[in-house]
Chains A and B, each alone.
Chain A
Amino acid sequence: MAKRVAIVGTGQTFHKSHRPDVNGQELINEAVQRALVDANLKMKDISAILIGNMDHFEGINYVDCWSVDGSGGVMKPVIKLTTGGTTGASLAIGGYHMVASGMFEKVLIIGWEKNSESDTTGAITTAFDPIWDRQVFAGAISGLAAEAQGYMARFGACDRDAARVSVRDRKHATNNPHAQLRKEVTLEEVLASPMLADPIHLLDVCPRTDGACAVIMANEDVAGKICSVPDWIWATAARHSYTYLGDGDWGRLTSMEKCSKEIWKKTGIKEPRKEIDVIEMYQPYSFAGLIWIEDMGIVGHGEAPQYIWDGNTDMGGELPVNPSGGVIACNPIGATGLIRCAEAAMQVMGKADARQVPDVNFAVSTGFGGCMWTDMLLHGKKKPN
């Protein structure tokens, strides 16, 4: 009964810091309508809907019900799925499971966020243990700062290395009309921007964004009829790690390492650096652009700064990372992981326009969540065996 699965259409809003002209349902609808047009499908063709966003961000608990005007979910099976920062990537993996099971032919997957409607730090703090960590810790950025400090101390990197990652992503974003921040920044501007949590400067970190993304997955019986070049999902992996902040290996992202190893093993990839053509990484701040490509096995521990400085991850380089501009340029959190998936799919399908990497056979997309967990998908042009 199990089926191979492909992405056959994607849609995104033009993401902005705030969208006062639409409510959440209307924002969702923009992405859904674009995905249907991209796949040349109608709402009646969709078998089921999977939707998610961040808990507590808009203060609407039953988003699956409330959103039906926008999602098209009236009288269809709708499931909500939310896993914090990884939500968008978990939605993609959940949609893959639904279609792969053989029980749903075409699934519409929606991630969305109206970050402008609440206090992100207050909401994210509810992810942490109330008796222990919450008493002394708040928000998302302090955990990232601890990771960056650990990495710098252990592997000798510096804030200038990280700034190079911000410069790359912000430059890439100028090619993406959907990105929120579409202006280049310089190394000096990054290093001179206000310090938020040492060593993270304002221009090292993601913005808050209003936006939505929709992805349509179909099974192998119909994918090839819907579009000429479907994006086949080769493998997925997900790892959660700790309960308490002190459980983490600060300076390494163990969940990324485990996900990558699982995917390379499942698909027979021996040299990811050579075999992967593009990565859309959920990289919420610049230091992650160093640390996590090491954990992914692209380069060895401590080797990322030189690899990045040599331009290997720039457009035109050996392995471009975040042609979309990534999360540093745009972060509607519940949509962010799904945008990575959609952007990777567009690279495989040859639909990435000005941000297209030539001849993409394999693309990787990832999701990241505040408790240092990882989701990962391998996308391919060839139908998997």
Chain B
Amino acid sequence: MADVFKGVEPMVYNSKISVPYSWWAGDTASKFFISLRDDQKIIAPRCGTCGKVFMPPRKICPACFTENTEWVDISNEGTVISYSVARRQLESIPVDKKTPVIWGLIKLDGADTALMHYLGEVKPEGVTIGMRVKAVFADSRTGTIRDISHFKPVK
């Protein structure tokens, strides 16, 4: 394999292109984030046709293809549907999170779809599918999904 490089001076050019993004959350997601930030309350839209409650919130029911206009309060507590553990401190893990980091899909009581979030105050070996968890809100809230700090086990 090394022979391939014999007598070759490889020329490499590094990219300097910067493409910064900013995404509009839209009215539907914004309503959820404002409620989270200002009232520490989790709300979700319900499909007027099939009755499905969506978490994260979405404007259109993908099955009925109609606009969701009704909002309902849902519980801060829910059930772990599945989870995974990250054990390497990769760049994609926020700097304030130290490995092992546990991700969980949490179906909150009153919602029909699961929310992806962090599980905390629990060791990886303590997590089970079906365990009950509760939202812990962040002290400083700015209107993002991380206004929920993590979900902790319900004792």
Q: Which residues of A are at the interface with B, using a C-beta cutoff of 8 A?
A: 18-26, 29, 43, 56, 58-59, 68-70, 72, 74, 114, 116-119, 122-123, 125-126, 130-131, 134-135
B19 A69 Cβ-Cβ under 8 A? no
CB-defined interface of B10-25 with A at 8 Å, one 1/0 digit per residue? 0001010111111111
**CA separation between A63 and B120, bound complex, in Å?**
32
Closest to A33 in B: B65
Our pick among B21, B22, B60 for the contact of A26 (Cβ within 8 Å) is B60
Our pick among B17, B21, B28, B58 for the contact of A59 (Cβ within 8 Å) is B21
Q: Give 5 closest A-B pairs by Cβ, nearest first.
A: A23-B26, A122-B19, A74-B62, A59-B21, A22-B26
Q: Which residues of B are at the interface with A, using a C-beta cutoff of 8 A?
A: 13, 15, 17-29, 58-60, 62-63, 65
Our pick among B13, B24, B62 for the contact of A23 (Cβ within 8 Å) is B24
Contacts of A20 in B (CB 8 A): 24, 26
B60 A125 Cβ-Cβ under 8 A? no
Our pick among B15, B20, B21, B62 for the contact of A68 (Cβ within 8 Å) is B62
B21 A29 Cβ-Cβ under 8 A? no
**CA separation between A126 and B17, bound complex, in Å?**
8
The answer to whether residues A58 and B23 also contact, given A26-B28, A130-B15, A135-B13 and a CB cut-off of 8 A, is yes
User: Which secondary structure dominates chain B's binding surface?
Assistant: loop
A69 B13 Cβ-Cβ under 8 A? no
**CA separation between A68 and B28, bound complex, in Å?**
17
Closest to B23 in A: A117
A43 B65 Cβ-Cβ under 8 A? yes
B17 A122 Cβ-Cβ under 8 A? yes
**CA separation between A69 and B58, bound complex, in Å?**
8
**CA separation between A74 and B63, bound complex, in Å?**
7
Our pick among B19, B58, B59, B65 for the contact of A119 (Cβ within 8 Å) is B19
B24 A22 Cβ-Cβ under 8 A? yes
Among A20, A23, A25, chain B packs the most CB atoms within 10 A around the CB of A23
Closest to B24 in A: A20
Question: How many residue pairs at the A-B interface have CB separations less than 8 Å?
Answer: 70
A21 B21 Cβ-Cβ under 8 A? no
Supplied contacts A19-B24, A20-B24, 10 more A-B pairs, CB within 8 Å: A21-B27, A22-B59, A23-B28, A24-B23, A25-B59, A72-B65, A114-B24, A119-B19, A119-B20, A126-B17
A130 B13 Cβ-Cβ under 8 A? yes
Closest to A74 in B: B62
15 contacts between A and B (CB under 8 A): A18-B24, A20-B26, A21-B24, A24-B23, A25-B58, A29-B60, A69-B58, A69-B62, A114-B23, A118-B19, A118-B20, A118-B21, A119-B18, A122-B17, A126-B19
Q: How far is the CB of A137 from chain B (nearest CB, A)?
A: 12
**CA separation between A118 and B28, bound complex, in Å?**
21
Q: How far is the CB of A113 from chain B (nearest CB, A)?
A: 13
Contacts of B62 in A (CB 8 A): 68-69, 72, 74
Contacts of B20 in A (CB 8 A): 118-119, 122
Contacts of B26 in A (CB 8 A): 20-23, 26
The answer to whether residues A25 and B60 also contact, given A43-B65, A117-B24, A130-B13 and a CB cut-off of 8 A, is yes
Contacts of A117 in B (CB 8 A): 21-24
**CA separation between A383 and B17, bound complex, in Å?**
48
Contacts of A131 in B (CB 8 A): 13
**CA separation between A256 and B13, bound complex, in Å?**
34
Contacts of B13 in A (CB 8 A): 130-131, 135
Q: How far is the CB of A67 from chain B (nearest CB, A)?
A: 10
**CA separation between A25 and B26, bound complex, in Å?**
10
**CA separation between A25 and B67, bound complex, in Å?**
12
Among B18, B59, B60, chain A packs the most CB atoms within 10 A around the CB of B60
**CA separation between A158 and B20, bound complex, in Å?**
37
